[in-house]
Amino acid sequence: MLFKKLSDVSEAEMQKLLSRGSGLADVGKTVSSVLSDVRTRGDSALREYTKKFDKVELADFEVSGEEFEEALSSISPELMGHLKTAAANIMAFHKAQMPETTWFMELQPGVVLGQKATPLESVGAYAPGGRASYPSTVLMTVIPARVAGVGQVIVCTPPRADGSVNPLTLAAAKVAGADRVFKLGGVQAIGAMAYGTETVPKVDKIVGPGNVFVTAAKMQVRDVAEIDFPAGPSEVLILADDSADAVMAASDIIAQAEHDPSAVSVLVTTSGTLAEAVQKEILVQAENTARSEIVKAALENAAVLTADSLEQGIDFSNKFAPEHLEIMVEDSDFVLDRIKNAGSIFIGNYAPVPVGDYASGTNHVLPTAGYARIYSGLNINHFLKYTSIQKISKIGLESLKETIIALAEEEGLQAHADAIRIRFGYKPSK
Protein backbone atom coordinates (compact mmCIF):
# COMPACT_ATOMS: atom_id res chain seq x y z
CA MET A 1 0.00 0.00 0.00
CA LEU A 2 1.37 3.38 -1.02
CA PHE A 3 1.39 5.89 1.86
CA LYS A 4 2.68 9.33 0.84
CA LYS A 5 2.02 13.00 0.42
CA LEU A 6 0.40 13.45 -2.99
CA SER A 7 3.05 15.99 -3.95
CA ASP A 8 5.79 13.42 -3.19
CA VAL A 9 4.39 10.64 -5.38
CA SER A 10 6.98 9.77 -8.01
CA GLU A 11 6.25 9.77 -11.71
CA ALA A 12 6.44 5.97 -11.79
CA GLU A 13 4.08 5.65 -8.81
CA MET A 14 1.65 8.10 -10.38
CA GLN A 15 1.74 6.23 -13.66
CA LYS A 16 0.92 2.98 -11.85
CA LEU A 17 -2.05 4.60 -10.12
CA LEU A 18 -3.42 6.15 -13.30
CA SER A 19 -2.78 3.23 -15.67
CA ARG A 20 -4.56 0.46 -13.80
CA GLY A 21 -6.42 -1.90 -16.11
CA SER A 22 -3.79 -1.63 -18.84
CA GLY A 23 -3.52 -5.44 -18.95
CA LEU A 24 -6.04 -5.66 -21.80
CA ALA A 25 -3.23 -5.82 -24.35
CA ASP A 26 -1.51 -8.60 -22.40
CA VAL A 27 -4.46 -10.98 -22.85
CA GLY A 28 -5.43 -9.83 -26.34
CA LYS A 29 -4.04 -12.79 -28.29
CA THR A 30 -5.53 -15.38 -25.95
CA VAL A 31 -8.92 -13.69 -26.06
CA SER A 32 -8.84 -13.38 -29.85
CA SER A 33 -8.08 -17.09 -30.21
CA VAL A 34 -11.00 -18.14 -28.00
CA LEU A 35 -13.41 -15.76 -29.75
CA SER A 36 -12.39 -17.04 -33.17
CA ASP A 37 -12.91 -20.62 -32.05
CA VAL A 38 -16.38 -19.87 -30.65
CA ARG A 39 -17.31 -18.06 -33.84
CA THR A 40 -16.22 -21.04 -35.94
CA ARG A 41 -17.26 -24.05 -33.84
CA GLY A 42 -20.16 -22.73 -31.78
CA ASP A 43 -21.43 -25.00 -29.02
CA SER A 44 -18.52 -27.44 -29.39
CA ALA A 45 -16.09 -24.68 -28.51
CA LEU A 46 -18.28 -23.56 -25.62
CA ARG A 47 -18.20 -27.06 -24.11
CA GLU A 48 -14.45 -27.30 -24.55
CA TYR A 49 -13.70 -23.95 -22.90
CA THR A 50 -16.21 -24.46 -20.11
CA LYS A 51 -14.44 -27.70 -19.26
CA LYS A 52 -11.01 -26.07 -19.57
CA PHE A 53 -11.63 -22.84 -17.66
CA ASP A 54 -14.57 -23.64 -15.34
CA LYS A 55 -13.70 -27.33 -14.81
CA VAL A 56 -17.28 -28.29 -15.59
CA GLU A 57 -18.71 -30.59 -18.27
CA LEU A 58 -22.19 -29.50 -19.34
CA ALA A 59 -24.67 -31.30 -21.53
CA ASP A 60 -26.93 -28.24 -21.71
CA PHE A 61 -25.93 -24.62 -21.30
CA GLU A 62 -29.38 -23.17 -20.80
CA VAL A 63 -30.90 -23.13 -17.32
CA SER A 64 -34.07 -25.23 -17.41
CA GLY A 65 -37.47 -24.45 -15.96
CA GLU A 66 -36.92 -27.14 -13.35
CA GLU A 67 -33.65 -25.53 -12.28
CA PHE A 68 -35.44 -22.20 -11.91
CA GLU A 69 -38.17 -23.77 -9.79
CA GLU A 70 -35.66 -25.54 -7.56
CA ALA A 71 -33.66 -22.34 -7.10
CA LEU A 72 -36.71 -20.24 -6.24
CA SER A 73 -37.97 -22.79 -3.73
CA SER A 74 -34.60 -22.76 -1.93
CA ILE A 75 -34.65 -19.03 -1.17
CA SER A 76 -36.23 -17.78 2.02
CA PRO A 77 -39.18 -15.37 1.76
CA GLU A 78 -37.14 -12.79 3.67
CA LEU A 79 -34.23 -12.89 1.22
CA MET A 80 -36.63 -12.83 -1.72
CA GLY A 81 -38.21 -9.76 -0.19
CA HIS A 82 -34.86 -8.00 -0.03
CA LEU A 83 -34.19 -8.92 -3.67
CA LYS A 84 -37.53 -7.43 -4.69
CA THR A 85 -36.87 -4.26 -2.68
CA ALA A 86 -33.59 -3.73 -4.51
CA ALA A 87 -35.26 -4.49 -7.85
CA ALA A 88 -38.04 -1.99 -7.18
CA ASN A 89 -35.54 0.78 -6.38
CA ILE A 90 -33.48 0.02 -9.48
CA MET A 91 -36.61 0.06 -11.61
CA ALA A 92 -37.80 3.37 -10.14
CA PHE A 93 -34.46 5.09 -10.77
CA HIS A 94 -34.21 3.87 -14.36
CA LYS A 95 -37.82 4.73 -15.14
CA ALA A 96 -36.97 8.28 -14.10
CA GLN A 97 -34.21 8.25 -16.75
CA MET A 98 -36.60 7.33 -19.58
CA PRO A 99 -36.70 10.09 -22.20
CA GLU A 100 -39.78 11.19 -24.10
CA THR A 101 -39.88 8.50 -26.78
CA THR A 102 -40.96 10.79 -29.62
CA TRP A 103 -40.89 14.58 -29.72
CA PHE A 104 -41.18 17.37 -32.29
CA MET A 105 -40.25 21.05 -32.48
CA GLU A 106 -41.17 23.64 -35.09
CA LEU A 107 -37.93 25.30 -36.10
CA GLN A 108 -39.74 27.74 -38.37
CA PRO A 109 -42.95 27.62 -40.47
CA GLY A 110 -42.92 24.42 -42.51
CA VAL A 111 -39.85 22.95 -40.81
CA VAL A 112 -40.70 20.49 -38.06
CA LEU A 113 -37.88 18.48 -36.53
CA GLY A 114 -38.11 15.60 -34.10
CA GLN A 115 -36.58 12.53 -32.59
CA LYS A 116 -37.76 8.99 -31.97
CA ALA A 117 -36.28 6.66 -29.34
CA THR A 118 -36.47 2.95 -30.14
CA PRO A 119 -35.35 0.12 -27.82
CA LEU A 120 -32.80 -2.40 -29.04
CA GLU A 121 -34.20 -5.75 -30.14
CA SER A 122 -31.86 -7.96 -28.10
CA VAL A 123 -29.37 -7.55 -25.27
CA GLY A 124 -27.01 -9.97 -23.55
CA ALA A 125 -26.18 -9.34 -19.88
CA TYR A 126 -23.00 -10.77 -18.37
CA ALA A 127 -23.01 -11.48 -14.63
CA PRO A 128 -19.57 -12.47 -13.29
CA GLY A 129 -18.92 -15.59 -11.24
CA GLY A 130 -15.65 -17.14 -10.19
CA ARG A 131 -14.65 -15.76 -6.80
CA ALA A 132 -18.23 -14.68 -6.06
CA SER A 133 -21.68 -14.67 -7.63
CA TYR A 134 -23.41 -11.39 -8.39
CA PRO A 135 -27.22 -11.55 -8.42
CA SER A 136 -27.13 -7.76 -8.02
CA THR A 137 -25.46 -7.44 -11.42
CA VAL A 138 -28.35 -9.35 -12.99
CA LEU A 139 -30.75 -6.78 -11.56
CA MET A 140 -28.56 -3.89 -12.70
CA THR A 141 -28.30 -5.10 -16.30
CA VAL A 142 -31.66 -6.72 -16.97
CA ILE A 143 -34.01 -4.23 -15.29
CA PRO A 144 -32.97 -1.12 -17.26
CA ALA A 145 -33.13 -3.16 -20.48
CA ARG A 146 -36.69 -4.13 -19.59
CA VAL A 147 -37.62 -0.57 -18.62
CA ALA A 148 -36.30 0.61 -22.00
CA GLY A 149 -38.45 -2.00 -23.78
CA VAL A 150 -35.73 -4.31 -25.16
CA GLY A 151 -37.36 -7.23 -26.97
CA GLN A 152 -35.20 -10.10 -25.71
CA VAL A 153 -32.81 -10.10 -22.75
CA ILE A 154 -30.55 -13.07 -22.04
CA VAL A 155 -28.08 -13.61 -19.21
CA CYS A 156 -24.77 -15.47 -19.20
CA THR A 157 -23.13 -16.35 -15.90
CA PRO A 158 -20.41 -18.91 -15.08
CA PRO A 159 -21.49 -22.29 -13.68
CA ARG A 160 -20.43 -23.41 -10.23
CA ALA A 161 -18.26 -26.50 -9.72
CA ASP A 162 -21.32 -28.77 -9.76
CA GLY A 163 -22.63 -27.25 -12.99
CA SER A 164 -25.38 -25.24 -11.30
CA VAL A 165 -25.96 -21.49 -11.00
CA ASN A 166 -26.25 -19.66 -7.69
CA PRO A 167 -29.97 -19.86 -6.76
CA LEU A 168 -30.13 -16.15 -5.91
CA THR A 169 -28.69 -15.30 -9.32
CA LEU A 170 -31.53 -17.26 -10.92
CA ALA A 171 -34.04 -15.59 -8.63
CA ALA A 172 -32.66 -12.20 -9.66
CA ALA A 173 -33.03 -13.17 -13.32
CA LYS A 174 -36.66 -14.12 -12.70
CA VAL A 175 -37.45 -10.96 -10.73
CA ALA A 176 -35.70 -8.74 -13.28
CA GLY A 177 -37.48 -10.36 -16.23
CA ALA A 178 -34.69 -12.12 -18.13
CA ASP A 179 -35.93 -14.32 -20.98
CA ARG A 180 -33.20 -16.96 -20.84
CA VAL A 181 -30.16 -17.74 -18.69
CA PHE A 182 -27.08 -19.64 -19.85
CA LYS A 183 -24.40 -21.31 -17.74
CA LEU A 184 -21.50 -19.70 -19.55
CA GLY A 185 -18.69 -17.50 -18.32
CA GLY A 186 -15.56 -15.76 -19.48
CA VAL A 187 -14.50 -15.03 -23.03
CA GLN A 188 -16.58 -17.90 -24.40
CA ALA A 189 -19.77 -16.33 -23.03
CA ILE A 190 -19.01 -13.00 -24.69
CA GLY A 191 -18.26 -14.78 -27.96
CA ALA A 192 -21.48 -16.79 -27.78
CA MET A 193 -23.61 -13.68 -27.31
CA ALA A 194 -21.72 -11.72 -29.96
CA TYR A 195 -21.71 -14.34 -32.71
CA GLY A 196 -24.54 -16.69 -31.72
CA THR A 197 -24.23 -20.48 -31.56
CA GLU A 198 -26.58 -23.43 -32.01
CA THR A 199 -27.85 -22.79 -28.46
CA VAL A 200 -27.13 -19.17 -27.61
CA PRO A 201 -28.84 -16.43 -29.64
CA LYS A 202 -26.82 -13.57 -31.09
CA VAL A 203 -27.59 -10.23 -29.44
CA ASP A 204 -27.30 -6.63 -30.58
CA LYS A 205 -25.52 -5.41 -27.44
CA ILE A 206 -23.57 -6.91 -24.53
CA VAL A 207 -23.52 -5.24 -21.12
CA GLY A 208 -22.06 -6.06 -17.73
CA PRO A 209 -18.73 -6.12 -15.88
CA GLY A 210 -16.05 -8.81 -15.81
CA ASN A 211 -12.37 -9.55 -15.34
CA VAL A 212 -9.65 -8.46 -17.74
CA PHE A 213 -10.43 -11.37 -20.12
CA VAL A 214 -14.13 -10.53 -20.27
CA THR A 215 -13.40 -6.83 -20.74
CA ALA A 216 -10.91 -7.56 -23.52
CA ALA A 217 -13.43 -9.86 -25.20
CA LYS A 218 -16.10 -7.17 -25.13
CA MET A 219 -13.68 -4.71 -26.72
CA GLN A 220 -12.84 -7.21 -29.49
CA VAL A 221 -16.41 -8.08 -30.54
CA ARG A 222 -17.54 -4.51 -31.22
CA ASP A 223 -17.55 -5.15 -34.95
CA VAL A 224 -20.55 -7.48 -34.54
CA ALA A 225 -22.19 -6.42 -31.27
CA GLU A 226 -22.30 -3.09 -29.47
CA ILE A 227 -21.08 -3.00 -25.86
CA ASP A 228 -21.67 -0.69 -22.93
CA PHE A 229 -18.04 0.20 -22.04
CA PRO A 230 -14.95 -1.39 -20.48
CA ALA A 231 -15.96 -2.51 -16.98
CA GLY A 232 -13.17 -4.40 -15.30
CA PRO A 233 -11.89 -4.86 -11.73
CA SER A 234 -13.59 -2.65 -9.16
CA GLU A 235 -12.12 0.57 -7.77
CA VAL A 236 -12.88 3.39 -5.36
CA LEU A 237 -11.38 6.79 -4.70
CA ILE A 238 -12.28 8.53 -1.45
CA LEU A 239 -11.87 12.29 -1.12
CA ALA A 240 -11.88 13.22 2.57
CA ASP A 241 -11.09 15.98 5.00
CA ASP A 242 -10.87 15.87 8.79
CA SER A 243 -14.67 15.56 9.07
CA ALA A 244 -14.48 11.98 7.72
CA ASP A 245 -14.64 8.92 9.93
CA ALA A 246 -11.44 6.86 9.70
CA VAL A 247 -13.08 3.52 10.51
CA MET A 248 -15.77 4.08 7.88
CA ALA A 249 -13.26 5.16 5.24
CA ALA A 250 -11.06 2.13 5.94
CA SER A 251 -14.06 -0.19 5.71
CA ASP A 252 -14.90 1.20 2.27
CA ILE A 253 -11.36 0.52 1.08
CA ILE A 254 -11.59 -3.05 2.37
CA ALA A 255 -15.01 -3.48 0.73
CA GLN A 256 -13.55 -2.67 -2.68
CA ALA A 257 -10.44 -4.75 -2.07
CA GLU A 258 -12.47 -7.90 -1.37
CA HIS A 259 -13.81 -7.95 -4.93
CA ASP A 260 -10.65 -9.06 -6.66
CA PRO A 261 -6.84 -9.03 -6.24
CA SER A 262 -6.78 -6.46 -9.06
CA ALA A 263 -9.19 -4.08 -7.30
CA VAL A 264 -7.89 -0.57 -6.61
CA SER A 265 -8.67 1.53 -3.52
CA VAL A 266 -7.36 5.05 -2.96
CA LEU A 267 -7.87 7.60 -0.20
CA VAL A 268 -6.92 11.23 -0.83
CA THR A 269 -7.26 13.45 2.22
CA THR A 270 -6.24 16.90 3.38
CA SER A 271 -5.78 15.54 6.90
CA GLY A 272 -2.51 13.84 7.84
CA THR A 273 -4.13 12.65 11.05
CA LEU A 274 -6.94 10.96 9.11
CA ALA A 275 -4.45 9.40 6.68
CA GLU A 276 -2.51 7.76 9.49
CA ALA A 277 -5.67 6.57 11.24
CA VAL A 278 -7.07 5.07 8.04
CA GLN A 279 -3.80 3.30 7.23
CA LYS A 280 -3.76 1.66 10.67
CA GLU A 281 -7.43 0.76 10.48
CA ILE A 282 -7.03 -0.82 7.03
CA LEU A 283 -4.41 -3.22 8.39
CA VAL A 284 -6.64 -4.17 11.32
CA GLN A 285 -9.74 -4.73 9.18
CA ALA A 286 -7.80 -6.67 6.55
CA GLU A 287 -7.01 -9.30 9.17
CA ASN A 288 -10.62 -9.64 10.20
CA THR A 289 -12.48 -10.11 6.94
CA ALA A 290 -13.71 -13.35 5.40
CA ARG A 291 -11.86 -12.77 2.12
CA SER A 292 -8.62 -11.77 3.78
CA GLU A 293 -6.30 -13.27 1.15
CA ILE A 294 -7.99 -11.43 -1.70
CA VAL A 295 -8.07 -8.21 0.34
CA LYS A 296 -4.38 -8.37 1.16
CA ALA A 297 -3.50 -8.97 -2.49
CA ALA A 298 -5.64 -6.03 -3.58
CA LEU A 299 -4.10 -3.75 -0.95
CA GLU A 300 -0.89 -3.94 -2.98
CA ASN A 301 -2.77 -1.66 -5.40
CA ALA A 302 -4.08 0.65 -2.65
CA ALA A 303 -2.87 4.11 -1.73
CA VAL A 304 -3.39 6.57 1.12
CA LEU A 305 -2.35 10.01 -0.09
CA THR A 306 -2.24 13.32 1.75
CA ALA A 307 -3.09 16.37 -0.35
CA ASP A 308 -1.87 19.89 0.33
CA SER A 309 -5.36 21.19 -0.42
CA LEU A 310 -8.81 20.01 -1.37
CA GLU A 311 -8.26 21.49 -4.83
CA GLN A 312 -5.17 19.30 -5.29
CA GLY A 313 -7.19 16.26 -4.27
CA ILE A 314 -9.97 17.15 -6.72
CA ASP A 315 -7.44 17.59 -9.52
CA PHE A 316 -6.01 14.13 -8.83
CA SER A 317 -9.52 12.64 -8.71
CA ASN A 318 -10.37 14.05 -12.13
CA LYS A 319 -7.16 12.58 -13.56
CA PHE A 320 -7.85 9.24 -11.88
CA ALA A 321 -11.48 9.21 -13.14
CA PRO A 322 -12.65 6.60 -10.61
CA GLU A 323 -15.39 4.06 -11.08
CA HIS A 324 -16.69 4.98 -7.60
CA LEU A 325 -16.01 8.34 -5.98
CA GLU A 326 -16.83 8.84 -2.30
CA ILE A 327 -16.89 12.43 -1.07
CA MET A 328 -16.40 12.62 2.69
CA VAL A 329 -15.85 16.34 3.25
CA GLU A 330 -17.62 19.08 5.16
CA ASP A 331 -18.43 21.12 2.05
CA SER A 332 -19.46 18.39 -0.37
CA ASP A 333 -21.08 20.85 -2.79
CA PHE A 334 -17.72 22.55 -3.31
CA VAL A 335 -16.23 19.23 -4.38
CA LEU A 336 -19.22 18.00 -6.39
CA ASP A 337 -19.26 21.16 -8.52
CA ARG A 338 -15.63 20.55 -9.52
CA ILE A 339 -15.79 16.84 -10.28
CA LYS A 340 -15.59 16.13 -14.00
CA ASN A 341 -14.84 12.41 -14.20
CA ALA A 342 -16.48 9.70 -12.09
CA GLY A 343 -18.66 6.67 -12.78
CA SER A 344 -20.86 7.11 -9.70
CA ILE A 345 -20.60 9.57 -6.80
CA PHE A 346 -21.38 8.84 -3.14
CA ILE A 347 -21.67 11.79 -0.78
CA GLY A 348 -21.29 11.67 3.00
CA ASN A 349 -20.05 9.28 5.67
CA TYR A 350 -23.26 7.27 5.32
CA ALA A 351 -23.08 6.73 1.55
CA PRO A 352 -20.60 3.86 1.08
CA VAL A 353 -20.27 2.21 -2.31
CA PRO A 354 -22.28 -0.91 -1.25
CA VAL A 355 -25.38 1.33 -1.10
CA GLY A 356 -25.18 1.72 -4.87
CA ASP A 357 -23.98 -1.84 -5.36
CA TYR A 358 -27.24 -3.23 -4.06
CA ALA A 359 -30.18 -1.15 -3.04
CA SER A 360 -30.27 2.60 -3.62
CA GLY A 361 -31.39 2.13 -7.22
CA THR A 362 -28.48 3.68 -9.09
CA ASN A 363 -26.58 1.36 -11.41
CA HIS A 364 -23.41 -0.38 -10.31
CA VAL A 365 -22.19 -1.31 -13.80
CA LEU A 366 -19.66 1.48 -14.28
CA PRO A 367 -16.59 2.33 -16.37
CA THR A 368 -13.30 1.44 -14.69
CA ALA A 369 -9.59 2.02 -15.35
CA GLY A 370 -10.07 5.73 -16.05
CA TYR A 371 -12.73 5.22 -18.72
CA ALA A 372 -15.07 7.46 -16.69
CA ARG A 373 -13.34 10.27 -18.60
CA ILE A 374 -15.29 9.32 -21.71
CA TYR A 375 -18.05 6.85 -20.74
CA SER A 376 -21.18 7.09 -18.61
CA GLY A 377 -22.24 4.33 -16.24
CA LEU A 378 -24.93 1.93 -17.43
CA ASN A 379 -28.21 3.79 -17.87
CA ILE A 380 -31.41 3.69 -19.85
CA ASN A 381 -29.80 5.27 -22.91
CA HIS A 382 -27.56 2.24 -23.36
CA PHE A 383 -30.65 0.29 -24.40
CA LEU A 384 -32.15 2.86 -26.77
CA LYS A 385 -31.23 4.15 -30.21
CA TYR A 386 -32.29 7.55 -31.49
CA THR A 387 -33.60 8.46 -34.93
CA SER A 388 -33.98 12.04 -36.12
CA ILE A 389 -37.16 13.06 -37.96
CA GLN A 390 -37.88 15.90 -40.40
CA LYS A 391 -41.29 17.06 -41.60
CA ILE A 392 -40.70 19.66 -44.31
CA SER A 393 -43.43 21.47 -46.29
CA LYS A 394 -42.86 23.40 -49.52
CA ILE A 395 -42.84 26.65 -47.55
CA GLY A 396 -40.28 25.18 -45.17
CA LEU A 397 -38.02 23.93 -47.96
CA GLU A 398 -38.21 27.28 -49.70
CA SER A 399 -36.83 28.99 -46.62
CA LEU A 400 -33.83 26.62 -46.65
CA LYS A 401 -33.41 26.35 -50.42
CA GLU A 402 -30.65 28.87 -51.04
CA THR A 403 -28.55 27.68 -48.11
CA ILE A 404 -28.77 24.02 -49.19
CA ILE A 405 -27.98 24.75 -52.83
CA ALA A 406 -25.02 26.99 -51.98
CA LEU A 407 -23.44 24.45 -49.62
CA ALA A 408 -24.10 21.49 -51.95
CA GLU A 409 -22.48 23.23 -54.89
CA GLU A 410 -19.54 24.29 -52.75
CA GLU A 411 -18.99 20.62 -51.97
CA GLY A 412 -19.24 19.72 -55.66
CA LEU A 413 -22.47 17.74 -55.23
CA GLN A 414 -24.56 19.11 -58.08
CA ALA A 415 -27.26 16.42 -57.85
CA HIS A 416 -27.87 17.40 -54.24
CA ALA A 417 -28.51 20.97 -55.33
CA ASP A 418 -30.69 19.84 -58.23
CA ALA A 419 -32.82 17.68 -55.90
CA ILE A 420 -33.84 20.97 -54.25
CA ARG A 421 -34.28 22.97 -57.47
CA ILE A 422 -36.49 20.28 -59.04
CA ARG A 423 -39.07 20.85 -56.31
CA PHE A 424 -39.39 24.44 -57.48
CA GLY A 425 -39.80 23.87 -61.23
CA TYR A 426 -36.23 23.26 -62.34
CA LYS A 427 -35.94 20.74 -65.21
CA PRO A 428 -32.57 19.06 -65.76
CA SER A 429 -31.25 19.50 -69.30
CA LYS A 430 -31.24 16.43 -71.53
234 annotated to bind ligand: yes
State yes or no: is 364 an active-site residue: no
Cα 252 to Cα 356: distance, rounded to the nearest angstrom? 13
363 annotated to bind ligand: no
411 annotated to bind ligand: yes
CB 291 within 8 A of CB 325: no
414 annotated to bind ligand: no
Give the rounded distance of the alpha carbon of 311 from its chain centre: 28
If 0-12 CB within 10 Å is exposed, 13-18 middle and 19+ buried, where does residue 217 land?
buried
Residue 7 CA neighbour count, 13 Å, CB half: 7
Q: What phi and psi values does residue 236 have, to the nearest 5 degrees?
A: -140, 145
357 annotated to bind ligand: yes
Residue tagged active-site, from 94, 258, 324, 326? 324
259 annotated to bind ligand: yes
288 annotated to bind ligand: no
Residue tagged active-site, from 67, 258, 281, 323? 323
Cα 46 to Cα 185: distance, rounded to the nearest angstrom? 9
The SS3 of residue 382 is helix
Give the rounded distance of the alpha carbon of 251 from its chain centre: 24
DSSP for 394-418? HHHHHHHHHHHHHHHHHTT-HHHHH
**Strands ordered across the beta sheet of 180-183:** 180-183, 152-157, 122-126, 205-207, 226-227
Cα 360 to Cα 88: distance, rounded to the nearest angstrom? 10
Buried b (16+ CB within 10 A) or exposed e, 150-183: bebbbbbbbbeeeebbbbbbbbbbbbbebbbbbb
CB 291 within 8 A of CB 313: no
State yes or no: is 70 an active-site residue: no
220 annotated to bind ligand: no
- Give the annotated binding-site residues for Zn(2+): 256, 259, 357, 416
- Annotated binding site for substrate: which residue ranges? 234, 256, 259, 324, 357, 411, 416
* Residues catalogued as catalytic: 323-324
Binding residues for NAD(+): 126, 188, 211
Residues comprising the binding site?
126, 188, 211, 234, 256, 259, 324, 357, 411, 416
